Amino acid sequence: MNSMLRYMSTLYLCSTLFAFVGFGLNIGSDSYSIAGDSESWNVDGGTNAVSLVRTDMESPVYLGGYIYLDFLPVVDIEAGFGFAGNSYDYTYTTPGIGGNASETETYKLPWVRGNSYLTIQKPMFQIPMIKLYVGGGLNMSYSMPIVDKSFITSILSTDLDNSSGLDPNTIMEMTAESTGIHLEAGARFKPILIPFSINAKVRYNIVRDIIPDKSGFLTITFGAGFAL
């Protein structure tokens, strides 16, 4: 019995000493929604009216990957990437010009933001198999534009009949990018002797020009992966 206990203790010690790298996948959601819009406006100072109706977009679903290193004596390092997205509908109506009838087009358009990040994590509390930590770092974020009045006027100018300019493929090719920072708190669970870990994390992202009318937002994720 004593030999078995010593053997198990040795295995546990080795597992804690050598579990210095992990990688896996995260899934979760961003904690914001993007409100719908309904606008009509005249062009060329005349009576020709253009109208736009856009539906609400609910909290985007997040999916990403990560790798972390925890062999440093004071802090851990995590790097990763992710994408969050959802979809919305918009209806765009151009007026009848030169005797032509007005035209209405309706699209279901995906919206996606992406990011890559580097985080320094500081363990705050640790017991066998569970680690609680806080951290912060830098992120590079990207996002597709949201269709609104300013977007339509910028790509169509005064050519109201150029409905091809609002093709979803055109919109998806136009992305914004911005560098920001983030703060986070999380927990990681690693079973004894098993090269596997699960984690939960709350991150507050501070970044401009990615989410309309917002300079910060929460992302909540749960993940699982290998811990070697």
Residue at 98 is within a domain: no
- CA-based end-to-end distance of the chain: 28
Q: Are 66 and 26 in contact (CB under 8 A)?
A: yes
Residue at 75 is within a domain: yes
Could you give the angle at the alpha carbon of 52 between the alpha carbons of 49 and 178, nearest 5°? Answer: 125
Only one residue has tokens 């909290």, namely 59
What CATH number is attached to the domain comprising 207? Answer: 2.40.160.20
Query: Which is nearest to 212 in space by CA: 137, 113, 138, 114?
Result: 113
Distance (Å, rounded) from C-alpha 200 to C-alpha 187? 5
pLDDT at 101: 55
Residue at 139 is within a domain: yes
Quote the number of domains for the chain. 1
Residue at 54 is within a domain: no
Domain that holds residue 64: 19-34+59-85+111-227
What is the pTM assigned to this prediction?
A: 0.81
Residue at 92 is within a domain: no
Calculate mean pLDDT across residues 86-110. Answer: 79
pLDDT digits (tens, 9 = 90+) for 44-64: 665 667 888 999 999 999 999
Residue at 49 is within a domain: no
pLDDT at 78: 97
